[in-house]
Amino acid sequence: MKPVIQVVNDKMQTGYRYLLTQPVGKNIHPDFKPELTPKQMLKLGVFGGKYMTDTRQEFPANWFDKAKLSPQKYDTSLNCFSVKASQPLSVWQKKGWIHPDDPRGWFQWYCRYYLGRRHEDDERQIKRWQAFRRHVAQIKNNCLAGDVNCRPKQRQALLHWAYDSRKL
């Protein structure tokens, strides 16, 4: 694949550029096996619909087909499990979880990785994703199989990390 330069101009980044060196959704690190694509996550309902409202120019238009978005404010009812399961960006910044190239956090990194960007932060983000899997075990150990109403906040949080707890 011939590398493609992606230019970002949104509310958090102006003139940021990165290279797409892999085909969309291909050549994923063997230790990184997300259960959902960014498009699937947006359709199911993540981050109160607020996360990606000004990024349509950066990502494929079809990612936004049937996406549950709220341009005005965070709307809990748009989340797949209708609960808030995320911390404010300021908390993520304070804890040092944000790389300057991805000022919105993990999901922005994942969208760009899925799109074909490979980056110096990939290893750290993949390890963070792997660590979040501990919540899958908690649902398996505390909920009846198929009971999607059990632990909705934890299920919503898993969804934010591309884990599909509806299958548990």
Per-residue pLDDT of 55-96, as tens digits, reads 989 999 999 999 999 988 999 999 999 999 988 889 989 999
The more confidently predicted of residues 52 and 162 is 162
pTM: 0.95
Instruction: Judge whether 47 and 160 are in contact, CB under 8 Å.
Output: yes
In the predicted model, is pLDDT for residue 1 greater than 90? no
* Three-state secondary structure call for residue 9: strand
Domain count, the chain: 1
**Structural domain of 26:** 4-167
Range list of H helices, the chain: 38-44, 89-94, 106-115, 122-132, 134-142, 152-160
Q: How much is the pLDDT for 118?
A: 98
User: What is the mean pLDDT of the segment spanning 25-37?
Assistant: 97
In the predicted model, is pLDDT for residue 144 greater than 90? yes
Contacts of 23 (CB under 8 A, 6+ apart): 1, 116
Q: How much is the pLDDT for 88?
A: 86
